[in-house]
Amino acid sequence: GENVEQHPSTLSVQEGDSAVIKCTYSDSASNYFPWYKQELGKRPQLIIDIRSNVGEKKDQRIAVTLNKTAKHFSLHITETQPEDSAVYFCAAGFQKLVFGTGTRLLVSP
């Protein structure tokens, strides 16, 4: 089955800096790679996703890249703001979505 690894587990940045979170997956059949943001006590919220036929996708300050050959994908957040502080999960799969272990992002003013 699918196995998703995520790094780093914690990431502290200053406001305005960029943040990068990386994930690797094991199942070459996975074709959907979303990123979720989860604030304390709340549900995971989809922030961006990418499908296996696309190498990069951008939405304002957030971008995701996918390298199918290496089986890894990354989340890039530019111009970070304190409200970006949360736990971020990557995931891979399609009908069965497997989540990475999460990254706690702390953006200091």
Binding region for another protein (CB under 8 A)? 31-32, 34, 42-46, 49, 51, 89, 93-102
Q: How far is the CB of 101 from another protein (least distance, A)?
A: 6
Identify which of residues 74 and 102 has a Cβ nearer to another protein in the complex.
102
Q: How far is the CB of 16 from another protein (least distance, A)?
A: 27
Q: How far is the CB of 49 from another protein (least distance, A)?
A: 6
Identify which of residues 102 and 107 has a Cβ nearer to another protein in the complex.
102
CA dihedral of 30, 31, 32, 33, whole degrees rounded to 10: 70
Identify which of residues 27 and 49 has a Cβ nearer to another protein in the complex.
49
